[in-house]
Amino acid sequence: MGLSSVASNSEGMQLCIFDLRRGQNEGQELDKILFFHPADLPFSTQLSVIGLSEGLITFTRIFSPDAACEVIEAERHSHVFFEAEPDIWMVVIVEKNKEAEAIWRVDALRKVLKEVHSLFLMFHGSIRSLLEKEPAAGSVRSQLYIFIMDYLSDFHSSKKLQLPSFRDSLKERGTVQMLTVGREAAIEVQSLVRVVESCTGSPSCHSLLLFQDLLVSTTLSPDDTINLFTYTVLRLTPHALSTGLSSWSYLRKGSTASAAVTGPPVGSGTSLSEPFHGSHGTSAGDDHSHAMRPLQHNRWSKGKDGFLITDIWQAEPGSLVSVTPSIWLQQTEEKMYLCAYQHKSLTLIFLIPVSSIINGEQGILAVKQLVLENASLKILKVEEKLSKGWGGENAYHVSGYRYLLVDGDRNLSRASPPGKVTTLTKDSLLALSKLREEVDIEKSRTRWDNGGHEKDLEICTRARNNAWVISQVTRGKELYMVLENANETLLYASDAVQKFSNRYCNGAFSLD
């Protein structure tokens, strides 16, 4: 199935979060550890890993104060660093094993760290603010442990942790996939959004509309759109609700998408009762059963009125009374009620400022009733129009091409359907992964050398199986492409790229 395993449970993959502002005095070193996986490793081993990471960060800051360590490539391991918040670092250490197909792209691993942190921010707020409220950090460690283990459960299959590998080279985490809609449908969508916003009674409300797993419209900032879109596809879309698994149309479908790391099961009911680092700061018998777990599977369902319901959010710890879900917006740092309505393949999310609802749950019920009364017919009409124009899972397949198109300025991506990507050979995917790694390095170097301005890149290489593997980067847009059935000549491959660019990218990658 294209999956690989690493023999050592403790060395296959390690993930840690630590705070450089804590544990600087002798005998208090454990205080800096906020999360560590696998949790059953001895504290001495955890401290050794984090001590090495801290040393590398300190050393590289000598030469680059504004851009500390991003990755360290050792003989047997890759150490990938991400400074999630000032002085709060996330580090993932993965074991190299070419025979097991454990060939990683560093930027892809870093985006996993960025994604889980962004989702944590959306539900809990910043780690630093939580630490300031509770310096002992007991509940912070508990929240991080539960949240990250639930997140990792999406990467878990057959007792193996599947991390992004070279087989995921035509995917881009941290972007949104949009549905192409016609003019008439777009007008109907705009009308629906205006009606829903008027029902909330707040000028600060926001909305997000999805069809299948694709974004139709949003009134949120780019970062907040990515976060809420990610969560919606993970847990709220019709496919996610029906299967209990995240669908990830363009990110995670397919059983051959990742290389696997053997390790203890994650995200299961038993895993959350295992010891985790930080128990020295809380009671050893911490009860996680009442903790908020927004990423736990099978906790959302569709009510009779079409609104999605969940018991994840509770009036108070241990309470049996559920309340309306709430999230934090990254741009405004405002707390918002999250309401989700679903009709067939259409999912409507609207956010209402907590501060604007005076009567709490009764106020939310009143808003929902207004939406049902005033927007139901428009929702039906929009879903019908989008369904008629929907081309199915292969709607964005282009015959003869396997591609990934990324618009970095708008955080959008579009790619060949996963089922089509699986037809590519291993040699093609390996060549593409290597090419993308080179582009990542060049982009990173250019950003620091040119004050954040990227330069245009164009790379075309031949894989061992004679497939053409192509990359073009220009004006914030990136195109990655594999042509396995192309002609022998480079001219033919270049002409194929020009045709694709002119037809599907408005000429963004054309030479003219």
- Parse the chain into domains and list their residue ranges: 4-168, 184-250+293-389, 402-504
Q: How many residues does the chain have?
A: 512
Omega into 294 within 30° of 0, i.e. cis?
A: no
Contact of 501 with 509, CB cutoff 8 Å? yes
Give the max Cα distance, the chain: 70
Predicted local distance difference test score (pLDDT) of residue 98? 65
Burial class (CB in 10 A: 0-12, 13-18, 19+), 229: buried
- In DSSP terms, which residues pair with 352 in a beta bridge? 337
Predicted local distance difference test score (pLDDT) of residue 178? 95
Contact of 371 with 196, CB cutoff 8 Å? yes
Predicted local distance difference test score (pLDDT) of residue 10? 43
Tokens of 476: 């914030």
DSSP helix/strand/coil, 321: coil
Predicted local distance difference test score (pLDDT) of residue 27? 84
Say if 4-168 and 184-250+293-389 have the same CATH topology. Answer: yes
Strands (E), 233-387: 258-262, 300-302, 308-310, 326-328, 335-343, 346-353
- In DSSP terms, which residues pair with 79 in a beta bridge? 72, 93
Buried b (16+ CB within 10 A) or exposed e, 170-198: bbbbbbbbbbebeeebeebbeebbebbbe
Predicted local distance difference test score (pLDDT) of residue 284? 34
Report the alpha-carbon angle 16-22-25, nearest 5: 120
Contact of 12 with 95, CB cutoff 8 Å? yes
Buried b (16+ CB within 10 A) or exposed e, 102-123: bbbbbbbbbbbbbbbbbbbbbb
Predicted local distance difference test score (pLDDT) of residue 360? 87
Predicted local distance difference test score (pLDDT) of residue 127? 97
Question: CA–CA distance from 474 to each of 169, 430, 507, 510 (Å)?
Answer: 19, 23, 11, 10
Position 186: which residue type? A
Predicted local distance difference test score (pLDDT) of residue 261? 53
Backbone angles phi, psi at 473, to 5 degrees: -130, 125
Helix extents (H) in 125-258? 127-133, 138-152, 183-200, 222-231, 238-243
Predicted local distance difference test score (pLDDT) of residue 253? 41
Tokens of 332: 């405004």
Helix extents (H) in 328-425? 361-389, 418-421
* Residue whose token pair is 């008629």: 388
DSSP helix/strand/coil, 409: coil
CATH architecture of structural domain 402-504:
2-Layer Sandwich (3.30)
Contact of 144 with 120, CB cutoff 8 Å? yes
Cross-sheet strand order for the sheet of 346-353: 214-218, 206-211, 346-353, 335-343, 326-328
CATH tag, 184-250+293-389: 3.30.450
| CATH topology for the 4-168 domain | Beta-Lactamase (3.30.450)
Q: What is the pLDDT tens value at each position of the chain, 512 positions in all?
A: 232 333 334 447 899 999 999 988 888 889 999 999 999 999 999 999 999 999 999 998 888 887 778 898 888 888 999 999 999 999 999 988 766 556 788 999 999 999 999 999 999 999 999 999 999 999 999 999 999 999 999 988 767 788 888 999 999 999 999 999 999 999 999 999 999 999 998 999 999 999 999 999 999 999 999 999 999 999 999 988 886 544 444 344 443 444 555 444 444 433 454 444 444 443 333 445 567 899 999 999 999 999 999 999 886 666 667 789 999 999 999 999 999 999 999 999 999 999 999 888 999 999 999 999 999 999 999 999 999 999 888 999 999 999 999 999 999 999 999 999 999 999 999 999 999 999 998 888 877 666 556 678 899 999 999 999 999 999 889 999 999 986 778 888 889 899 999 999 988 887 66
